[in-house]
Amino acid sequence: MIMEIKDIIKEISNVTNMVTDEQLKLFIKKINEAKRIIVCGTGRSGLMLKSFAMRLMQMGYISYVVGETITPALKEGDLLIVASASGETNNVCQAVKSAQKENVEVIAITANEQSTLYKLQQALITIKVSTKFNTVNITKQPLGSLFEQALLIIFDAIILKIAKENENMNSVMAMRHANVE
């Protein structure tokens, strides 16, 4: 079992090392400029985005998840963050089209630079991994596992970088943590 853990950590390290400081700084800049942040993804990628939206809310940002009953209409000044490994997830592509009609800023993350998503919105971050539609031999893991793991690490790195700018951020986040579960 230890070998599998080491393999996974090595793979995550290899793909996240391709993400640049400039990409993360631009990502954070767009977050800080947004009035509201809305995330959209499906499956396990969607779960990583929900986790990110939760952390942003705990930091004091106004964040929503597409598909939830309380998510408002997109408006200019909002930021839509989408992720799809294949770049072919229909509702993600539709969300980007809706955002563009409303002049909403979009951050896209994908593994596929030939995808519909990438053609609609050039990805700020391309995570070069295999997907359910293409199996490049850079991972031992099934399907999109490496993409989703990389998303979580990238999102947590963004949260950590923002948190470092405020020495009391852990206390601030703890006050906004759910107390009804």
CATH of the domain at 55: 3.40.50.10490
Q: How far apart are CA 11 and CA 105, in angstroms?
A: 31
Look at residue 178 and tell me if it is in a domain.
Answer: no
Look at residue 84 and tell me if it is in a domain.
Answer: yes
For residue 101, the SS3 value is: helix
Active-site annotation holds for 148: yes
> 107: which strand partners?
81
Catalytic hit among 113, 148, 165, 167: 148
Look at residue 127 and tell me if it is in a domain.
Answer: yes
Query: Domain total for the chain?
Result: 1
Look at residue 134 and tell me if it is in a domain.
Answer: yes
In the prediction, which pLDDT does 168 show? 79
In the prediction, which pLDDT does 172 show? 72
Instruction: Give mean pLDDT, residues 96-113.
Output: 96
Whole-structure pTM value: 0.92
Instruction: Give mean pLDDT, residues 151-164.
Output: 95
Domain span at residue 98 reads: 35-164
